[in-house]
Amino acid sequence: VILVDGAERAVISALDRGLAYGDGVFRTLAIREGAPRQWRRQYAKLAADCEAIGITPPAELLLRGEVRQIAQAEQRCALKIIVTRGPSERGYRYDTKTPAVRIVLSSPYPQYPPSYYDCGVRVRRCRVRLAGQPALAGIKHLNRLENVLARAEWTDSDIAEGLLLDNGDCVIGGTMSNLFLGRSGTLVTPDLDRCGVAGVTRDRVIHAATARGIAITIGNIGWRDVLSADEAFLVNSLAGVWPICELEGTKLSTGPLVRSVQCWLDQDDDADLA
Amino acid sequence: VILVDGAERAVISALDRGLAYGDGVFRTLAIREGAPRQWRRQYAKLAADCEAIGITPPAELLLRGEVRQIAQAEQRCALKIIVTRGPSERGYRYDTKTPAVRIVLSSPYPQYPPSYYDCGVRVRRCRVRLAGQPALAGIKHLNRLENVLARAEWTDSDIAEGLLLDNGDCVIGGTMSNLFLGRSGTLVTPDLDRCGVAGVTRDRVIHAATARGIAITIGNIGWRDVLSADEAFLVNSLAGVWPICELEGTKLSTGPLVRSVQCWLDQDDDADLA
């Protein structure tokens, strides 16, 4: 199903700035048992990302209705919401009066091997570096060529994800996931002030850890920090939590923290649309 | 007129990766007197940019036919060519077998005041910095949020362009133009190995200067270098050559080099489609 501004159609204007300049934002969320997961957090992020680049976000009620329509029809799927600045004349300048265009579309829920969740995933180190751009850091915008290039670096289907560093040698996260390390019973996750995407599941982990009195540090992480961590794991809205069991050929152990995090997120699997 | 894969239609698939990730490239060229200008250079750049990000470029003959069709119908317009990696399933990974999608569309030729060409333009310094990304530098790809943010910094219609610096304090160019300085009878233009877009008109200036024995340096340019230059000018395919007469309130003089460059480009206004 594809809804463009609420209507069932599979196309957008060739003049849309989302196409011309990647001028927009998106989110990917899980629909399970006919309900979108973490709707409030997802909408809040989408709206904040829109505002960060000067797009007036679509009303929550409007978008929620479209998400519910697809959720009820599909029951279980990956839902993607794209919001663009809409069509415009040629040129980078935009008219603030043009309403945003919203695209809501469903894809089959990805069928990851259960071992990814249980035993962990093999991960590589990507060659492409993320560029530091504080004006866009953390935002899930449509300028994602770095992720496309990174994902094109490997075809081995045994490698589930690639880790990306910035040009200051800090590890920022996976091509489609956020990274956490367990270190002496505390959690560490990369600072996303210069690049990277701040996902909803990352927020949930930070929130859940804090609520349970587990210390969490947001800071710079080097490659050796990942290799020497007690445990390392990746999170996103569709996959949940994947322990990293092998990183560029080095075995990592799966410890108690990642199991706790998996458990916390299961307990907080918010399906409330309101 | 909008041609999508050769057919007259105004829409593209909502699943196109150009929309999802800015996964594609574009060019803007001038159509005057029914003929596209600098077609060979434009096509060569488009094809090289496609290949740089792993897209098989559309055949020259195919694209040339579409460009000619619009050129003959419109006589004078701005022509934009977008090539995307085409539609795909959700996810950054792409299928190398999917053919690229090509979009050829015309806009009214921009009506710049003749004084821009004759007397020069007022230019500002943008606050947003260009991020250094060697893997994408020089390529006219569809990830242009930095340009969008930069252009949104001013609404004063007396300011024709804004100059962008990278995060190493090097001046890279305008939001929609390349920069040249005249210094002691030689030309200087920014190195675009870390960021920026290498335009066709920039290449033409470099080529024309070299052919005429004028020394040209491609290197790092600081803000003070621009202010202290004998002359400074901006180039792109639609505007041609604009002297900078005022930069952030400082008057710059318009010297003999910029007039020569205007003249060289007039002499080399290639209209050959073959």
pLDDT tens, residue by residue, A56-72: 999 999 999 999 999 99
Mutate to test the interface with B, among A19, A29, A142 (most CBs of B within 10 A): A19
**Distance of alpha carbon B100 from its chain centroid, rounded?**
21
Q: Tell me which H or E stretch contains B82.
A: strand B77-84
Q: Is residue A55 predicted with pLDDT exceeding 70?
A: yes
Q: Is the pLDDT confidence value at B274 over 70?
A: no
Q: Does the distance separating the beta carbons of B103 and A90 come in below 8 Å? A: no
Sheet architecture: strand order including A2-4: A7-8, A2-4, A101-107, A77-84, A24-32, A35-36
Please identify among residues 154-193 of chain B the ones whose CB lies closer than 8 Å to any CB of chain A: 167, 175-176
Cβ pair A149, A128 in contact under 8 A: yes
Q: By the CB < 8 Å criterion, does A101 face chain B?
A: no
- Average pLDDT of the residues in B2-20: 97
Contacts of A18 in chain B (CB under 8 A): 19
Are A151 and B91 an interchain contact pair (Cβ–Cβ within 8 Å)? yes
pLDDT of residue B159: 98
Residue B270 has a pLDDT of: 73
Phi-psi region of B259 (alpha: psi -120 to 50; beta: other; left: phi over 0): alpha
Give Cα separations from B189 to B56, B70, B209, B211, B212 (angstroms): 30, 33, 12, 17, 17
Q: Is A107 on the interface with B (CB under 8 A)?
A: yes
- In this prediction, residue B218 carries a pLDDT of 98
pLDDT bin (cut points 50, 70, 90) of residue A75 is very high
Nearest to A189 by CA among A214, A168, A167, A211: A214
- Chain B residues in contact with A22 (beta carbon < 8 A): 21-22, 142-145
Q: Is the confidence at residue A200, as pLDDT, over 80?
A: yes
A132–B167 C-beta distance less than 8 A: yes
| Of the candidate ranges A11-15, A17-21, A77-81, A267-271, the one whose mean pLDDT is the lowest | A267-271
For the residues B204-223, what does the mean pLDDT come to?
Answer: 97
Contact A142 B22 (CB under 8 A): yes
What's the rounded mean pLDDT across residues A121-144? 98
- Rounded to the nearest angstrom, the gap between the alpha carbon of residue A93 and the centroid of all alpha carbons in its chain is 28
Alpha-carbon gap, residue A142 to A145, rounded angstroms: 9
Chain B closest CA to A10's CA: distance in Å?
5
* Model pLDDT, residue A273: 58
Residue B272 has a pLDDT of 63
What pLDDT, on a 0 to 100 scale, did the predictor assign at position A183?
Answer: 96
- Intra-chain end-to-end CA distance of chain B, in Å: 22
CA–CA dist B53, A148 (Å, integer): 9
Q: Indicate yes or no: CB of A146 within 8 angstroms of CB of B133.
A: yes
Kindly list the residues from chain A whose CB atom is less than 8 angstroms away from the CB atom of residue B78: 90
pLDDT tier at A272, thresholds 50, 70, 90: low
Q: What is the mean pLDDT of residues B200-224?
A: 97
Are A143 and B148 inside 8 Å of each other by CB?
no
Which residue of chain A comes nearest to B16, CA vs CA?
Answer: A19
- CB nearest B4 (choices: A14, A145, A167): A14
- Identify the CA nearest to B12 among candidates A25, A101, A96, A98: A101
Return the pLDDT at B268.
79
CB of A97 within 8 Å of a chain B CB? The answer is: no
Q: Per-residue pLDDT averaged across A197-202, rounded? A: 98
Under 8 Å between Cβ of A192 and A137: yes
Q: Is the pLDDT of residue B113 over 80?
A: yes
* Residue of chain B with shortest Cα separation from A194: B131
Q: Which of A4, A54, A144 sits opposite B21 (nearest CB)?
A: A144
Mean pLDDT of B127-146: 98
Q: How far is CA B175 from CA B163, B232, B234, in A?
A: 7, 16, 10
Q: Sort out which chain A residues have CB atoms less than 8 A from B129's CB and list them.
A: 133, 135
**pLDDT above 90 for B269:** no
Average pLDDT over residues B16-37: 97
- Chain B residues in contact with A133 (beta carbon < 8 A): 129, 131, 146
pLDDT of A274 strictly over 70: no
Per the listing, tokens 């090539």 go with B83
Tell me what pLDDT residue A270 has: 73
Work out the percent of chain B whose per-residue pLDDT is above 90.
96
- Specify the 3-state DSSP secondary structure of A264: helix
Q: What's the mean pLDDT when you consider all of chain A? A: 96
Phi/psi at A108 (5° precision): -60, 145
Q: Could you tell me the pTM of the whole model?
A: 0.97
Output the CA torsion B16→B17→B20→B23 (10° steps).
-140
Contact between chains at B94 and A11 (C-beta distance less than 8 A): no
Decide if A14 and B23 are in contact by the 8 Å CB cutoff: no
Residue type, A238: L
Q: Is A52 on the interface with B (CB under 8 A)?
A: no
pLDDT of B231 = 97
Q: Give dist(CA A178, CA B163) in Å, integer.
A: 34
Q: Sorting pLDDT into bands at 50, 70 and 90, what band is B273?
A: low
Across the interface, of B54, B143, B149, the residue whose CB is closest to A135 is: B149
CA distance B133 to chain A (A): 5
Contacts of A103 in chain B (CB under 8 A): 14, 19
Distance from CA of B167 to the nearest CA of A (A): 9
Model pLDDT, residue A27: 98
A 10 A CB-CB count for A185 gives 11
